[in-house]
Amino acid sequence: DAGVIQSPRHEVTEMGQEVTLRCKPISGHDYLFWYRQTMMRGLELLIYFNNNVPIDDSGMPEDRFSAKMPNASFSTLKIQPSEPRDSAVYFCASSRLAGYTDTQYFGPGTRLTVL
Protein backbone atom coordinates (compact mmCIF):
# COMPACT_ATOMS: atom_id res chain seq x y z
CA ASP A 1 0.00 0.00 0.00
CA ALA A 2 1.31 3.47 -0.83
CA GLY A 3 2.28 5.65 2.07
CA VAL A 4 1.35 9.27 2.61
CA ILE A 5 2.06 11.25 -0.53
CA GLN A 6 3.03 14.92 -0.47
CA SER A 7 3.68 17.38 -3.25
CA PRO A 8 5.68 19.25 -4.13
CA ARG A 9 8.74 17.85 -2.39
CA HIS A 10 10.54 21.17 -2.68
CA GLU A 11 9.16 24.63 -3.14
CA VAL A 12 11.08 27.88 -3.49
CA THR A 13 9.05 31.03 -3.69
CA GLU A 14 9.33 34.72 -3.09
CA MET A 15 7.88 36.60 -0.18
CA GLY A 16 4.29 37.56 -0.77
CA GLN A 17 3.47 34.68 -3.08
CA GLU A 18 0.79 32.10 -2.38
CA VAL A 19 2.00 28.60 -1.58
CA THR A 20 -0.14 25.46 -1.71
CA LEU A 21 1.06 22.19 -0.27
CA ARG A 22 -0.76 18.96 -1.03
CA CYS A 23 -1.25 15.69 0.77
CA LYS A 24 -2.82 12.34 0.01
CA PRO A 25 -3.27 10.24 3.14
CA ILE A 26 -3.07 6.47 3.32
CA SER A 27 -6.29 4.93 2.04
CA GLY A 28 -8.63 4.05 4.87
CA HIS A 29 -7.08 6.46 7.33
CA ASP A 30 -9.64 8.76 8.90
CA TYR A 31 -7.24 11.21 10.51
CA LEU A 32 -4.92 13.64 8.79
CA PHE A 33 -2.36 15.87 10.47
CA TRP A 34 -0.28 18.78 9.22
CA TYR A 35 3.03 19.47 10.99
CA ARG A 36 5.78 22.02 10.52
CA GLN A 37 9.41 21.36 11.44
CA THR A 38 12.09 23.99 11.96
CA MET A 39 15.40 23.99 13.75
CA MET A 40 14.18 26.61 16.20
CA ARG A 41 10.77 25.17 17.07
CA GLY A 42 11.07 21.49 16.28
CA LEU A 43 8.03 19.58 15.05
CA GLU A 44 4.76 21.42 15.65
CA LEU A 45 1.22 20.24 14.99
CA LEU A 46 -0.60 22.84 12.92
CA ILE A 47 -4.01 21.27 12.40
CA TYR A 48 -5.69 17.89 12.20
CA PHE A 49 -8.81 16.53 10.53
CA ASN A 50 -11.13 13.65 11.27
CA ASN A 51 -13.27 12.41 8.41
CA ASN A 52 -12.43 15.58 6.48
CA VAL A 53 -13.56 17.87 9.32
CA PRO A 54 -11.00 20.11 11.07
CA ILE A 55 -10.85 19.14 14.73
CA ASP A 56 -8.09 21.27 16.16
CA ASP A 57 -6.45 24.18 14.38
CA SER A 58 -4.95 25.80 17.46
CA GLY A 59 -1.47 25.30 16.07
CA MET A 60 -2.06 27.29 12.91
CA PRO A 61 0.28 30.25 13.35
CA GLU A 62 -1.86 32.99 11.89
CA ASP A 63 -4.54 33.87 9.38
CA ARG A 64 -2.13 33.57 6.51
CA PHE A 65 -2.36 29.81 6.95
CA SER A 66 -5.40 27.80 5.93
CA ALA A 67 -6.04 24.10 5.46
CA LYS A 68 -8.77 22.18 3.74
CA MET A 69 -9.74 18.59 3.24
CA PRO A 70 -12.39 18.42 0.51
CA ASN A 71 -12.46 14.62 0.51
CA ALA A 72 -10.94 11.60 2.22
CA SER A 73 -8.01 11.37 -0.14
CA PHE A 74 -6.79 14.94 -0.42
CA SER A 75 -5.81 17.87 1.76
CA THR A 76 -4.14 21.20 1.15
CA LEU A 77 -2.25 23.63 3.32
CA LYS A 78 -2.14 27.14 1.91
CA ILE A 79 0.00 30.08 2.93
CA GLN A 80 -1.02 33.46 1.57
CA PRO A 81 0.98 35.65 1.57
CA SER A 82 4.13 33.73 2.36
CA GLU A 83 6.95 35.19 4.46
CA PRO A 84 10.59 34.14 4.92
CA ARG A 85 9.82 32.91 8.45
CA ASP A 86 7.48 30.32 6.94
CA SER A 87 10.51 28.50 5.57
CA ALA A 88 10.37 25.01 7.05
CA VAL A 89 9.65 21.38 6.26
CA TYR A 90 5.92 20.71 6.25
CA PHE A 91 4.86 17.15 6.97
CA CYS A 92 1.51 15.55 6.47
CA ALA A 93 0.68 12.45 8.51
CA SER A 94 -2.30 10.14 8.69
CA SER A 95 -3.62 7.51 11.05
CA ARG A 96 -6.48 5.06 10.95
CA LEU A 97 -7.78 6.20 14.27
CA ALA A 98 -6.59 8.83 16.72
CA GLY A 99 -6.71 6.83 19.85
CA TYR A 100 -3.97 6.86 22.38
CA THR A 101 -2.01 4.11 20.72
CA ASP A 102 -2.64 4.69 17.04
CA THR A 103 0.41 5.16 14.88
CA GLN A 104 0.79 8.25 12.75
CA TYR A 105 2.47 7.68 9.40
CA PHE A 106 4.32 10.63 7.96
CA GLY A 107 4.75 11.65 4.36
CA PRO A 108 8.19 12.63 3.01
CA GLY A 109 7.54 16.32 3.63
CA THR A 110 7.63 19.49 1.55
CA ARG A 111 10.72 21.61 2.03
CA LEU A 112 9.57 25.22 1.66
CA THR A 113 11.95 28.11 1.17
CA VAL A 114 10.54 31.63 1.07
CA LEU A 115 13.02 34.20 -0.20
Partner 1 sequence: RKEVEQDPGPFNVPEGATVAFNCTYSNSASQSFFWYRQDCRKEPKLLMSVYSSGNEDGRFTAQLNRASQYISLLIRDSKLSDSATYLCVVRPHAGKSTFGDGTTLTVKP
Residue 70 as a binder of partner 1 (CB under 8 A): the answer is no
Residue 56 as a binder of partner 1 (CB under 8 A): the answer is yes
Closest CB to partner 1 among 72 and 89?
Answer: 89
Question: Which residues, in sequence order, are CB contacts of 61 under 8 Å at separation 6+?
Answer: 46
Give the helix, strand, coil percentages of the chain, each rounded to 5. Answer: 5, 55, 45
Residue 12 as a binder of partner 1 (CB under 8 A): the answer is no
**Which residues of this protein are in contact with partner 1, per CB under 8 A?**
31, 42-45, 48, 50, 55-56, 91, 98-101, 103-109
